[in-house]
Amino acid sequence: MKVYLKKESIEKHKTGCMVVGVFEGKKPEGLAKIIDKRLNGLVSKLFKDKDFEGKPNQTRLIYTQGRIPAERVLLVGLGKEKEFKIEKMRQASGNSSKAVRDLGLKKFSTVLAQIKIKKVPDYEISKAVTEGAILSLYDFTNYRTEKREEIKRVDEIALLIEKESKEIKKGLDDGFKISEAVYIARDMINHPANTATPTYLSEQAKRIARKSGIKCKVLDRADMERLKMGALLAVARGSDEPPKFIIMEYNGGKKGERPVLIVGKGLTFDSGGISIKPSEKMEEMKHDMAGGAAAICAIKAAADLKLPVNVVSLIPATENMPSGKADKPGDVVKAMSGKTIEVISTDAEGRMILADALTYGERYKPKAVVDLATLTGACIIALGYHATGLLGNDKDLIEAIKRAGEKSGERVWELPLWEEYEEQNKSDIADVKNVGGRGGGTITAAAFLKKFAGKFKWAHLDIAGTVWEYNGKPYVPKGAVGVGVRLLVEYLKSQG
C-alpha cells in the first residue's frame, strides 16, 4: 500500500472519493463548510435532518455530481471538537478507510491530516491518520484459495494538505513504519501453529533483523542445555518442534548505554501439555506467541524509526505439548537462575519460559525490563478485553507505560503486586511452584516472574485479553491485534 502527501486544494482535487472529517455540532464548520457551500448546502441539510451530525465514527457517502472534481465525498464524524483525543482520529481514519474499501475503490484521498487541533501537534494528527487507515485495511488472506479476485483492496491513499509541512510528512512516515511492524506481528499471530513454529519465528526474526539493521542470534536446544535453561527446556520437552531462543539487539543509543530489555512469550502452540486444556477453543492457543511477535516487531519499529535508544528483545519460543517425554505435574526442575520450580500445572508454562529469558537478560544490565505475555486466563476475568494487565516493581516505569498506553490507544490497567501474593507460590519441596491457587491468578503469575526479574526495574504486561479481536474495531479487524507494538514504540520514544 502506498500512502503519500498531495498538496492541492480540496476544491480542485480530482479523486474517486475524498474523505472529509466533520466535527459534531449544529452545522458544518471548517473544511466541511467549504464542501457544504460547493454542494449547495447538502451537508447542512444532512445536519438539519439529523442524517449525519459528525458523531464519532459516523460515515455518510455523498455523490458530488460534478460540483467539485472529487466524484464522491465520504463524510466521517470526529465527535465534539472540545472532546477531541488522538484516538478519535485513528478511529475516524480507520472507519472511513474501510467504508471506501467496501465501495470497491482502489484509491482515495483524505483531508484528515490537515485538520488543526489546539495543543495537538500536526505530527500526531498525521501519524494517527496514517496508522488508522493502514491498520484498518489489514486483512489476512494467505490461506484462501477460492474467489481471491473478490477480495477488495485499497492500494493508494493520498493525504491532502494545504501547504508543505515537515511535521506532517514525518507523521506519515513514522505512522507508516509503525503500521508495517504491526502488520508483521498480526501475520505471525494469525498464521496457524503448523506454519508459525519456533523455527519459523526465528527465521522471521532473522529476516526482519537483516532488513532493519538489527543484530540477531538464535540459540537452539544444545545452547539452552549448556546455559542450563531448565525451565524452558522442561516446557519444550513434550514437543517434536525444536525450541528456539531469539535474541535481537538494536543500538540506536549511545555506545555503552544500558539497554531497555523486552521479553516476549513465544509459545507457538499451548495445548496445556499433560495438564491438557479442554478441546473447545483450543485452536485459539496459536496466539500464545503474541508477546514474542510484539517483542520482535517493536524492536523492528524502533530501528526503522531510528529511535535513539539501545534495545534488546529476547523471545523464548517453543510449543507446549503432551507426550511420553513431556514434563509432568509434580516434576521439579531447575531454572537457569538456579532456583528450583515445582510444576503444579504444565499449563502454567508461560512463566517458566519467561523465567529463563529474564535470567538470560541479566547479562545486559538493562536499565528497564518490560515483558509481554498471554500469560493468564485470569486476566480476562479481571479486565475483560479492553485493557492489558500491568504489574511491576518500579513506579516510574509503570507510570511511563501507562502514559504510552494512553498515547498509543493500547490501554493498560495496573494490578497490585503486594508481597502478600508471593505466599501463594510457596512450594513444600522446591523454591517456588508454578501455580499459586485460584485467587488473583494474574497477580500470582506476575509474583512468580518477579522472582526472576532480579533487581532490575521491571514491568509485566499480561495481554491475554487484548491479543485477539473478536468483533472488529475501527482500526482493528477481527483476528490478531498486534497489541504491544505501538505501546512499546511509544514507551521507547519516551526513553530517547
Q: So which residues are the catalytic ones?
A: 277, 351
Phi-psi region of 116 (alpha: psi -120 to 50; beta: other; left: phi over 0): beta
Nearer to ligand BES, 112 or 415 (CB): 415
Among 348, 387, 412, 415, indicate the residue that binds ligand BES (CB under 6 A).
348
Nearer to ligand BES, 288 or 319 (CB): 288
Among 36, 122, 187, 270, indicate the residue that binds ligand BES (CB under 6 A).
270
Query: Considering only 108-116, 164-172, 265-273, 351-359, which stretch makes contact with Mn ion by CB under 5 A?
Result: 265-273
How many residues bind Mn ion, per CB under 5 A?
A: 3
Query: Considering only 21-29, 128-136, 203-211, 349-357, which stretch makes contact with Mn ion by CB under 5 A?
Result: 349-357
Judged by CB under 6 A, the chain residues 56 through 95 that form the site for ligand BES are: none
Residue 371, contacted partner among Zn ion, ligand BES, Mn ion, none, CB below 5-8 A by kind? none
Site for Zn ion contains 462 (CB under 5 A):
no
Minimal distance, residue 200 CB to ligand BES, in Å: 19
Among 122, 131, 288, 327, indicate the residue that binds ligand BES (CB under 6 A).
288
β partners of residue 92 = none
Among 171, 350, 409, 440, indicate the residue that binds ligand BES (CB under 6 A).
350
Site for ligand BES contains 342 (CB under 6 A):
no
What per-residue string of b and e applies to 223-253 under the rule 16 or more CB within 10 Å gives b?
ebeebebbbbbbbbbbbebbbbbbbbbbbbb
Site for ligand BES contains 464 (CB under 6 A):
yes
Nearer to Mn ion, 227 or 282 (CB): 282
Minimal distance, residue 277 CB to ligand BES, in Å: 7
Q: Which three cell numbers stand for residue 272?
A: 496445556
Site for ligand BES contains 424 (CB under 6 A):
no
Cβ partners under 8 Å of residue 61, min gap 6? 72, 73, 74, 75, 99, 103
- Grid look-up 491518520 returns 129
Site for Zn ion contains 319 (CB under 5 A):
no
Cβ partners under 8 Å of residue 412, min gap 6? 387, 388, 389, 390, 401, 402, 405, 461, 487
Longest pairwise C-alpha distance within the chain? 81
Site for Zn ion contains 350 (CB under 5 A):
yes
Burial of 356 (0-12, 13-18, 19+ CB in 10 A): buried
* Chain position whose Cβ is nearest to Mn ion: 347
β-bridge pairing 332-334 and 266-270 = unpaired
**CA-to-CA distance for 130 and 122, rounded, in angstroms?**
12
Q: Is residue 92 classed as helix, strand or coil in its secondary structure?
A: helix
Nearer to Zn ion, 53 or 288 (CB): 288
**CA-to-CA distance for 492 and 312, rounded, in angstroms?**
12
Provide φ and ψ at 409, rounded to 5°.
85, 0
Judged by CB under 5 A, the chain residues 245 through 304 that form the site for Zn ion are: 267, 270, 288
Q: Which positions touch ligand BES (CB under 6 A)?
A: 270, 288, 345, 347-350, 374-378, 435, 441, 464
Q: Which positions touch Zn ion (CB under 5 A)?
A: 267, 270, 288, 350
